[in-house]
Structure 1
Amino acid sequence: MTTTTPAPLPAPATPAKRPATPTARRTPPRLRTVAIAGSAYLIAIVFLLPYLEMVITALRPAGELTDRNYLPHHFAFGNFLNIWSTGLGTNLKVSLEIAVGSTLLVLLVAIPAAYYTARRNFRGKGLFLLLVLITQMFQPTAMIVGIYREFLTFNMIDSVWALVLVNAGFNMAFAVWILNAYFSAIPKEIEEAAIVDGCSRIGAMFRVIIPLAMPGIVTALIFTFIAAWNEFIVALTLTTSDTNHPLTVKASSYIGQYSIDWQHLFAGSVIATIPVIILFALIEGKVVSGLTAGSVK
């Protein structure tokens, strides 16, 4: 009796080694990219230099104002503390009241007007929008005499409310136009679906349309706020007491007939730019998206 031995099992095939791939080399930036980046940094430096000069002058002691050196030997940080004794806090409060009040009034009127013109085709719609655009062409400086006589009739000279109404009136056209473009870019089907689900027309506007149009609303907000914050001619004409002067008028008081208080002038200018910078930094992303409102259908 013969015994058979089982055949040995074949050894498992070893996987073939893949050829080692060379590590990807980091390609240097192209000359065009470097040129664009360098130009962008150069433009940024050019725009930031006046603000840097403003800060340095605000920190420069009085004895070093005429020195040729760019940086002072000693920084006078007390200029930013002493300026509050001149009543700058009251003027800062007035500027905030004017800018915030004008912005709220503009949004309160512009949102319903822009929504109605974007969703309704009525007779004279084109003429209405044209008249709104024409009001944007007028400047307060050209109408300052009529504005003064009108508020004098209503006994509103030296009143913060007068500045709120004027700034709101002259910024209304821009807000209506940009919001009209943004509301028009939102499909009507979204609003109709909300109405089918049980929302009223007003409810659909507040719950659906306004949240979608928030970038456009924020854009109108920031531009109205900055325009009211920087206004000078009307504020100088309609306000007479120092306690009702906004920051723009208060800054001009540091310029005398024979001398200029450069330290307080530039320190006040630096303080005046801080609220706008903070506001713009908080909503910058929505401002950029709101600027493209209506550009794509």
Structure 2
Amino acid sequence: MQKSLRIQRVVIMVVAYLLFLILMFPYVIMLITSLKSKSEIYSIPPTLLPHQWTFTNFIDIWHKVPLTDYILNTIIISGGATLLTLICAIPAAYVMARMQFAGKKLYMYLIMVTQMFSPIVLLVGLFREIHWFGLMDSVWGLVLTNAAFNQAFAVWILSGYFSTIPYELEQAAWLDGCTRWQALRRITIPLAIPGIITTVIFVFIAAWNEFAVALTFISTEQTKPLTVGIYAFFGMYDVQWQYVFATSLVAIIPVVILFLCIEKYLISGLTAGGVKH
């Protein structure tokens, strides 16, 4: 029995390491390419490792494009969209989890239907609406758009998490003199932190990686997010791949840092509702 368990454990570890290597392979290629010179990237036959490691590519990207502006704009867009999503989604998810009302299932289905729409499908309508509000070429137009398109997912995952929190805790708080809002703020939300953190990271990454809407709404170089600004290295006849991959690696760093900071909350948030009480 112990021998079979050991074999099973070894097989699981081998499969896990293989999956890790497969998932990390594109990032390794990105790193290697970002350390090559342009002539070496287009050399024939191509080489896997550079003959001369060009670390200056990571310095050059800060001078060739306003990369600092790109990063700050992306942080504002992602952070603002995440905050706005939480402000709207937490009350809506709480109502869906705690209250019974006519048409509740229909409302939940409508929320899920909105998640099926891609921003590209609604791009013309969004363009006219953002232009009417005077938010063209502004990061705030992207904040509103990203918050709107991530709202359905946030309500869905938070309502599932609120449902796992015992209702009796809130009732006890009411007996102690708390209002419903005070019970939500002091009891329910602190207990729902893992679900909220899970929502934060998914909404933040979705807003960080958004491209189509940003490309349509933003035209000024200083207001572009990273996903649009990186296209400055795509020319009419060639692509400066060493700068594209160097910028892409820099763009990954803030998301990795965010994930490492809140990773301990992520698993419990994703598994919320997995056990039926």
Q: What is the TM-score when the length of structure 2 is the normalising length?
A: 0.94
For the residues of structure 1 that align with 2:130 and 2:191, how far apart are their CA atoms?
A: 39
* 1:45-124 equivalences in 2 (<5 Å): 45-65=21-41, 66=43, 68-85=46-63, 86-124=65-103
Match of 2:138 in 1: 159
2:11 is aligned with 1:35: yes
Counterpart-to-counterpart distance in 2, 1:51 and 1:100: 25
Q: Kindly indicate whether residue 147 of structure 2 is the aligned counterpart of residue 168 of structure 1.
A: yes
Equivalences for residues 1-297 of structure 1 within 5 A: 30-65=6-41, 66=43, 68-85=46-63, 86-297=65-276
**Which shows bigger deviation, 86-95 or 189-198?**
189-198
Q: How much does 1:253 deviate?
A: 1.9
Q: Higher Cα Rg: structure 1 or 2?
A: 1
Matched-pair identity in %: 49
Q: Point out where structure 1 has 5 or more consecutive residues left out of the alignment.
A: 1-25
CA-CA distance at 1:49 after TM superposition: 0.6
- Provide the C-alpha distance between the structure 2 equivalents of 1:190 and 1:28, rounded to a whole number of angstroms: 45
Structure 2 segments unaligned to the other structure (5+ residues): none
Aligned structure 1 segments of 4 or more residues deviating by more than 4 angstroms: 26-29
2:26 maps to amino acid: P
Greater shift, 276-285 or 169-178, is seen at 276-285
1:261 Cα offset (Å): 0.9
1: distance between equivalents of 2:198 and 2:70? Answer: 26
Structure 1 residue 197, shift from structure 2 partner: 2.1
Partners of 2:182 and 2:47 in 1: CA distance? 63
Cα distance in 1 for residues equivalent to 2:166 and 2:73: 41
Cα contact 2:77–2:139 (8 A) shared by 1: yes
Structure-1-length-normalised TM-score: 0.88
Distance 1:140 1:41 in 2: 36
Local SS of the residue matching 2:235? coil
Shift of 1:188: 0.6
Residue range with higher mean Cα deviation, 60-69 or 232-241: 60-69
Q: State the one-letter code of the partner of 2:53.
A: F
| Equivalent position amino acid for 2:71 in 1 | L
Q: CA deviation at 1:247?
A: 0.2
Aligned equivalents of 2:122 and 2:248: distance in 1?
Answer: 27
Shift of 1:111: 0.3
Deviation string, structure 1 residues 84-119 (Cα, Å, up to 9, x no partner): 112111011100000000000000000011111211
Deviations 1:155-181 (A, max 9, x none): 221111110011000000000011111
Q: Are 2:38 and 2:240, in contact at CA under 8 Å, matched by a contact in 1? A: no
Deviations 1:173-206 (A, max 9, x none): 0000111111111111011112222322111111
Name the stretch that deviates more: 56-65 or 256-265: 56-65
1:281 to partner: Cα distance: 1.2
Range 52-61 or range 229-238, more displaced:
52-61
User: Contact 2:36/2:53 (CA < 8 Å) preserved in 1?
Assistant: yes
State the alpha-carbon separation in 1 of the partners of residues 274 and 141 from structure 2. Answer: 36
Q: Secondary structure at the match of 2:122?
A: helix
Deviation at 1:68, TM superposition (A): 3.1
Q: Compute the displacement of 1:29 (Å).
A: 7.0
Letter in 2 for 1:235: A
Secondary structure of the residue aligned to 1:30 is: helix
